[in-house]
Amino acid sequence: MSAEGGAGASPPALTRLAARAAERGWRRAARRLLARALTLDRGYEPAWLWLAAVARDDAERRFCLERAAEAGPDSVAHRDLARLRRVAPSPPPEVAHLAGPPLPPREAVSGRAGRSRGRRWWLVGAAGVLVAALVLGVLECVCAERAEPVYVALVAGFRGGALRGERVVEAIEAHLDQVNGHGGVRGHPVRLVRYDDHGATDAATARAVARRVVADRRVLLAIGHFYSDSALAAAPVYGAAGVPLITPTATADAATAGPWVFRATFDDSYQARFLAAYLRHALKARTATVVHDDSAYGRDTASAFGRAFARVGRVRRELSAGARFEGPGERARHVDAVVRAVRADPAAGALVLAMEYEPVAPLVRALRARGVRNPVVGGAGTRPDTLARVLSGPLDRLDRRGSPAQDVYVVAPQLGDSLTGAGAKWAYAFRRRYGSSPSWAAIAARTAADAAVHALERSGAGGGTAAARGRRAVRDALAAMDTPARGFSGLYGRAFFDPARSLQVPASIGVFERGRFVSAPLQLVEYRREEGEFGQERAAGQVVGVDGRVLVVQQVVRTGFNFNRISELDARGRKFRADFFLWLRYSGDDGATDVDFANQADARYRLPAPVRTSTVGDLKYRLYRVVTTFTADLDFHDYPFDRQHLAVALQNRTHPASHVLYVGDRALLAQSQAELLRSGRDPGTSVNDLLDWRVQELELHKDRVGSTAALGDPSAGPGEGGVHYNQYTAEFTVARRADAFLVTNLLPLLLLVVVSYTTLLFSRDPGFAPTRVSILVTAILTAVVLRTAMLDALPDVGYTVAVGWAFYAYFLLAVVCVCVVLASAWLMEHGRVAAWRRLTLLARIGFPLYCGAVALGYVLVYGR
């Protein structure tokens, strides 16, 4: 032993001596011998393993095993170290002088430092990008906050008045919210300054509120003063201060006498002439009795109506209903006098009420209660939407024949149920938001806000503009909207102001039906053709001219759909089948029932004979059962997360939109989505009979379709915009059941992803590379077949659908995996073990991260 442990002993010899000492229990001697061996060769693995075996504790043992593991990559020390991973290493005293680890090769130091510097620069760059994004976001917020608002005054009765409940304020606020949501007016948000006039119409209150408005130097224009008396009193205040005012509903002719006041409706003179034309050409009345109050509205309307109707009929007499605001006793006396005068005149004819709202309801109820059944026609000042609620109740016991609202007609700007195009979409959104259709006053208020926004946009006035200069610019912008080309696109189409600064809007006649104000069965609508083309039609009484406009009698057909079921959606053929009841209520010509469906799949299909018919007075009712197939315009960009719209579009086969208008039955429009989606045959079941689809919504809306050219029609003059037809559409929104689709169709793709990942877990032996590449190529080919089979259910769409991007993402991932496998094999063949480890680690971590990013992208885009 002493010979082997001499000065010339080698590390193996010293280790053998230490092993024999350890076997005899001489552990201290063994440690000294092993220390001498390691001093000679600190990388001698067996010496470190024996030193670990005779170590005093686990801390020394771990230190020795770590040195052994460093000396031999395949050392058994790796296995034992796993058991000691929670123990902190400590060197035995005998080898404390060897505790410092050997320095790594220079190239390793350079590579590690380079990677460290690279990581630092990457972190610095990422931090810089985040800081820049944060700074830009803060700057954007600051700039948005500093964008000076544009102020508009709103004068209305926020807690009272006859317009309470008609949501005129909500219509304005909702429109401005939408404008601000799209960036405001040239980047400036529009802010309302609310001035409450408590719904008052007296001159003193109107002037006091107007003075407060014009004193606010922030305000560039005002919207409000909804009543004629209020607008007449306030107009001089706005004119003197140079503040433009848009009144939505004040119709008095003199309200816009000054250059600073505009209105978003017609004036009293026009509506009076329109009433005269409607009485003669739609209701066929030849005599009329005018009842008026002493308001500006009443005097203007009565005078203009008398002059207009005298040309086509006879005004029997004019009766005074007294003052608008008077005590109950005086009002009852005037009402009784009017009723007695009408009853005493068998030839009184139609009764024309040139009155504001307050006396109208008592007078109408008294007339009906005393048996007066003459048609009653009123102007917009009667506040028809409010009047509808008052007249919806039953009469007292003196009357046994129907509702007081029967045969009562009121003129108003175009009603919500007869809007088309953009107006119909707005009315539908309004109804969904507030639970009721917009009143004519709400439509006028929204139109006033629309005109105000366009004037602010065109004027160039913005936040910080000097008050006088900005107000003048806004006024000039409003005045410049004096032709269709220079006007704006509103709810009615192109809107513009006439020389009297009244907005050119269509007039409609409404009736009262079940407590609602709806379009009358017959209307007078503008027919845009040259005046000279109407000789024969004018002689036949089919058209009439009012203030230079050519009007034609139009049938308004109340239309309803009650679906029994929708089924058989064929995505490849772009068709579906529908079974439903269709009903039409109308007055006049039976040509209103000459309808077909614009998107019926069978061009030869014709509406069958009605299953039920009835006639009450002039009102006709027809009920049909329709079962046929319809085409659908399907969009597969989001497939299989797509929503589709299945429409049934009804239109007249021969009559254009100017002659027949199909509008929704108000009882149907008042139903909830749950009620609309119940089957007409079995109310306990849904209309949905589609496989793998959910029916989400049924929307009923009107559209105007046709050609922008006259199509060779010799009767079409330069003023005709083309041949247009009205459509009434029931449109289902259906959503694909994506969960069932994903489980059925994308599970194989998920399995291919898992198989592809396993190719990254193979041994580092380069001999496995061909097998790994073969697996990946097979997976790619399988995915190609799977994609083809999945998209075979769709027609040729010419674009990539949503699920297609998932396959493309997988193809990219699989190709990258092939590249990783080939690169790994090359590195191992050239002995680049460290590079192989880095590449393998990057691939094994990057693969799931990539998959997670793709999945997250789909969730963010289609997670709705």
pLDDT in tens, 264-282: 998 888 888 889 989 988 8
CA gap 785, 749 in Å, rounded: 11
CA gap 26, 34 in Å, rounded: 12
With contact defined as beta carbons under 8 Å apart, do 569 and 576 qualify? yes
CA gap 438, 163 in Å, rounded: 12
What's the pLDDT band for 822 if we cut at 50, 70, 90? very high
Q: For residue range 181-227, what is the model confidence (pLDDT) as tens digits? A: 888 888 899 999 999 887 767 788 999 999 999 999 999 999 999 88
With contact defined as beta carbons under 8 Å apart, do 277 and 544 qualify? yes
What is the maximal distance between C-alpha atoms in the chain? 153
Candidates 246, 294, 638; CA nearest to 445 is 246
Checking if the pLDDT of 574 tops 60, the result is yes
Question: Which tokens belong to 345?
Answer: 């005149």
Checking if the pLDDT of 474 tops 70, the result is yes
**Helix (H, G, I), strand (E, B), or coil: what is residue 148?**
coil
Checking if the pLDDT of 145 tops 60, the result is no
What's the pLDDT band for 541 if we cut at 50, 70, 90? low
What does the DSSP 8-state code read for residue 160?
-
Checking if the pLDDT of 802 tops 70, the result is yes
More confident residue, 271 or 666: 271
More confident residue, 710 or 321: 321
| Residue with token string 């001219």 | 545
Burial of 823 (0-12, 13-18, 19+ CB in 10 A): middle
What's the pLDDT band for 601 if we cut at 50, 70, 90? very high
* Summary mean pLDDT of the chain: 82
CA gap 431, 701 in Å, rounded: 12
Question: Which tokens belong to 377?
Answer: 């026609």
Q: Which residues pair with 616 in a beta bridge?
A: 619
Which amino acid is present at 342? Answer: V
In order of 208, 283, 289, 363, 630, the CA distances from 318 in angstroms are: 35, 20, 6, 15, 57
Residue 22 contacts by C-beta under 8 Å, 6 or more apart in sequence? Answer: 30, 50, 53, 54
Neighbours of 413 (CB within 10 A): 24
Checking if the pLDDT of 134 tops 70, the result is no
Q: Which residues pair with 805 in a beta bridge?
A: none
Q: Would you give the end-to-end CA distance of the chain in angstroms?
A: 83
Question: Which tokens belong to 55?
Answer: 């170590």
- Report the share of the chain in percent with pLDDT over 90: 32
- The pLDDT, as a whole number, for residue 792 is 85
- Identify how many contiguous H helices and E strands the chain contains and give both numbers: 25, 26
- Report the share of the chain in percent with pLDDT over 70: 85
* β 245-247/219-224 pair status: parallel
CA atoms within 13 A on the CB side of 142: 6
Checking if the pLDDT of 818 tops 90, the result is yes
- The pLDDT, as a whole number, for residue 127 is 55
Query: pTM for the whole thing?
Result: 0.67
Question: Which tokens belong to 434?
Answer: 């507030």
Lowest-pLDDT range of 195-204, 389-398, 637-646: 389-398
Q: For residue range 78-87, what is the model confidence (pLDDT) as tens digits? A: 778 877 877 8
Q: What is the CA radius of gyration of the chain?
A: 43
**Cis preceding-peptide flag for 640 (omega within 30 of 0):** yes
Which helix (H) or strand (E) segment is 40 a member of? helix 27-40
CA gap 584, 787 in Å, rounded: 48
Question: Which tokens belong to 21?
Answer: 């000492």
Q: Which residues pair with 522 in a beta bridge?
A: 555
- The pLDDT, as a whole number, for residue 622 is 95
CA gap 702, 78 in Å, rounded: 78
Q: Which residues pair with 733 in a beta bridge?
A: 645, 697
With contact defined as beta carbons under 8 Å apart, do 803 and 640 qualify? yes
What's the pLDDT band for 754 if we cut at 50, 70, 90? very high
